[in-house]
Amino acid sequence: MKILSFESSCDETAVAVLSAEGDCITVLSSTIATQIDIHRLYGGVVPEIASRAHIDAISRLTYGALSESGCTLSEIDLVAVTANPGLIGALLVAVNFAKSLAISNGIPLVPVDHIKGHIAAAYLNTETPPKPPFLALALSGGHTSIYRVDTYTDYKVIGQTRDDAIGESFDKIGRMIGIPYPAGKGFDALSREGFIEATGKNEGFYSAYKKAKLYREGDFALPSPALNDGTLDFSFSGLKTAAINLLHRYEQKALPLNRALFAARYTYEVCEAVAKKISLAIDEHPELQALVVAGGVAANSHLREVLTAVAKKKGIPLFIPALSLCGDNAAMIGAQGYYEYRNGKTANATLNASAMDSI
Ligand code: KG4
Ligand code: ZN
């Protein structure tokens, strides 16, 4: 079956064409128009501007995705679209576009939850996708959640952040140390410099960091965002406040700030917290036979390293999408849409978007 899929929940307009058979889902084309340069001027996403930019891009991307895939609209068997969660005005652009296109061409339409979509990125372009039941970790600008995935469509939250999300935390603190929006990628690179400086190693620096003199005697002690209450929950607000206070102290005393060492320490606390909660989740759920990690922050090189080590230690297979499929894209929406459709879900002209989570 051929699937045409759409994504416009935040600041990326994306359209993809997939070919799916059995559990084998191949990306035929995946086009993305990012609005980052526009929103960077404001230090974050401006919803009204995002909606307008989606409208500008969506027709052009649809033509592009179809022609790159070598398919015509008449060959499409299913239209999938992100219906939630996200910015409501932004979501409505792709929802209405997909709805008009599907209904006017007599093609079935299926709504998709964006976070389930992120996890579904792990099913793409592989002959050996993860098989439920598995453990899933969604790390994005708005989510830090651990799920028990019983079937490809049936999710249960078993851990989550009680306040800020992991990507949001990188973006907010990154902005304070002069990294342009969205700060995650720049934070990753700056932390790498800090780990190298602290350990004197160009490789294996993450695992050597805790023993480094600059870690033990450094001035950047920060609290863990892993809640110490036996749950699988996180709280990033304490870490954020401590980091902001620390940066203010440096500013007030006019102390020179080593941004790289600070970024490395911040990243280390975040990565260790995620590793701790995922280790606990694996121990508590031995019936879940694989770990899937996805979302924009799953592109973080340090997190990928620490989670690879955790999975190896626990003897559980780890699935992390390719870097190009971690951030927002429409291919992941098509993959989830395929399983939703196979499970009997479709939508009609009354389909609406929602800003809220559906899991
Ligand atoms: O999943 P995503 O593309 O959009 C949402 O659904 O939110 O995630 C975007 C988030 C942003 O906060 C961005 O800074 C973060 O992913 N991000 C990263 C990295 N690349 C993107 N965070 C840490 N390290 C990265 N390499
Ligand atoms: Zn996303």
For 87-106, how does the pLDDT look when each residue is reduced to its tens digit (9 = 90+)?
A: 999 999 999 999 999 999 99
Total Cβ atoms within 10 A of residue 215:
19
Q: Are strands 134-139 and 291-294 parallel, antiparallel or unpaired?
A: parallel
Whole-Å CA distances, 37 to 6, 64, 70, 219:
21, 21, 30, 34
Cα of 140 from ligand 1 centre, angstroms = 5
Cα of 99 from ligand 1 centre, angstroms = 28
Q: Which residue has the tokens 């895939």?
A: 69
- Cα end-to-end distance, the chain, whole Å: 27
For 218-258, how does the pLDDT look when each residue is reduced to its tens digit (9 = 90+)?
A: 899 999 999 999 999 999 999 999 999 999 999 999 999 99
- Reported pTM: 0.97
Any idea which ligand is nearest the CA of 298? 1
The residue contributing the CA closest to ligand 1 atom 24 is 300
Cα of 306 from ligand 1 centre, angstroms = 17
Residue 52, Cβ density class (10 Å: 0-12 exposed, 13-18 middle, ≥19 buried): middle
**Angle, vertex CA 359, rays to CA 154 and CA 330, nearest 5:** 85
CA atoms of 4 and 10, how far apart (whole Å): 19
pLDDT by position in tens, the chain (length 359): 999 999 999 999 999 999 999 999 999 999 999 999 999 999 999 999 999 999 999 999 999 999 999 999 999 999 999 999 999 999 999 999 999 999 999 999 999 999 999 999 999 999 999 999 999 999 999 999 999 999 999 999 999 999 999 999 999 999 999 999 999 999 999 999 999 999 999 999 999 999 999 999 989 999 999 999 999 999 999 999 999 999 999 999 999 999 999 999 999 999 999 999 999 999 999 999 999 999 999 999 999 999 999 999 999 999 999 999 999 999 999 999 999 999 999 999 999 999 999 99
The residue contributing the CA closest to ligand 1 atom 7 is 141
Cis peptide bond upstream of 108, omega within 30: no
What is the greatest pairwise CA distance in the chain? 67
Which residue, among 119, 111, 122, has the nearest Cα to 156 in the 3D structure? 119
**Tokens, residue 7:** 């994504």
Q: Which residue has the tokens 């209405």?
A: 96
3-state helix, strand, coil in the chain (%, to 5): 50, 20, 35
Ion ligand 2 residue ranges (Cβ < 5 Å): 140, 328
Residues 6+ apart with CB under 8 A from 170: 182, 183, 184, 187, 270, 297
Cα of 325 from ligand 1 centre, angstroms = 11
Strand-pair partners of 139: 144
Q: What is the DSSP string of 75-109?
A: G--EEEEEEESS-HHHHHHHHHHHHHHHHHTT--E
Residues with CB under 6 A from ligand 1: 10, 118, 140-142, 167, 170-171, 182-185, 187-188, 295-297, 299-300, 327-328
- Provide the residue type at 333 as one letter: I
Cα of 212 from ligand 2 centre, angstroms = 35
CA atoms of 83 and 76, how far apart (whole Å): 20
